[in-house]
Amino acid sequence: MKIFLGMVKFKESDIKIFIVDDDELLVKILRTKFQQNTNYKVYSFSSGDDFISFYKNMPRSNKQIHILILDYLLKPNEPIKISKNGIDYLKEVKSINPQIQVILISAVDDPDIAVDAHNNGATSFIKKNENAFLRINNQIGYIVSEIQLQRAHNRSKRVRQIFYSLLIVFILFVFYIFVSEMLHT
């Protein structure tokens, strides 16, 4: 399926969704819903370390949009001081690819986590509940629209720069011809 935004053609298959969560049921539900309703390429990982190892070596293209759905507490039974949380992995993945869009999810509804996530580059924070898939899917739609809008704006900006450059060259050429004619007469 292709999404048309303005004059920009965009394939859903250029969207790569990475799900990092140790809740196998949630991962299965998200994967199934994305695979049934979209042509996104979906990858899932039960640990942040597995994801980071995979992502470091993954080839990337400017045509692709990478969206990470990242759980805040990946090992809820371990003491917080021992294991990394979603913010730690958020920082790490942003250092690998600052363009990746991150949606932090958590069963814990803590405004401090949401603020910390936002301050470290997360696009949004979504509480895990019965509406989580709908909210995640809406957020992905928003992310894709914003990226496409930015890409269209950048293309338009380049076209304007080329147009003005050609206009200046044309004016200089006309001026050169005019001055040449004046000097020869």
pLDDT > 90: percent of the chain? 49
Q: Which domains does the chain have, with CATH numbers?
A: 2-152 (3.40.50.2300)
What pLDDT does residue 12 have?
A: 66
Sign of CA dihedral 139, 145, 146, 148: positive
CA distances from 176 to 59, 78, 95, 106, 171 (A): 50, 76, 51, 67, 8
pLDDT of residue 8: 47
pLDDT in tens, 116-139: 999 999 999 999 998 988 999 999
pLDDT value, residue 136 = 94
Highest mean pLDDT among 11-15, 62-66, 92-96, 105-109: 92-96
Per-residue pLDDT tens over the stretch 97-110: 999 999 999 998 88
Report the C-alpha gap between 182 and 184 in whole angstroms.
6
User: Is 62 a residue whose pLDDT tops 50?
Assistant: yes
Interval 151-163: pLDDT, tens: 888 888 888 888 8
With cut-offs at 50, 70 and 90, classify the pLDDT of residue 1.
very low
* Buried/exposed 111-138: b ≥16 CB within 10 Å, e otherwise: eebbebbeeebbbbbbebeeebbebbee
Q: Is the pLDDT of residue 140 over 70?
A: yes
User: What are the residues whose beta carbons fall under 8 Å from the beta carbon of 162, sequence distance 6 or more?
Assistant: none
| DSSP state string for 25-58 | HHHHHHHHHHHHH---EEEEESSHHHHHHHHHTS
Give the tokens for residue 33: 């819903």
Q: What DSSP assignment string belongs to 114-160?
A: HHHHHHTT-SEEEE-STTHHHHHHHHHHHHHHHHHHHHHHHHHHHHH
Whether the pLDDT of residue 9 is over 60: the answer is no
Burial class (CB in 10 A: 0-12, 13-18, 19+), 1: exposed
Q: What are phi and psi of 8, to 5 degrees?
A: -95, 125
At residue 152, the pLDDT reads 85
The helix (H) or strand (E) run that includes residue 90 is: helix 86-96
Predicted TM-score of the model (pTM): 0.77
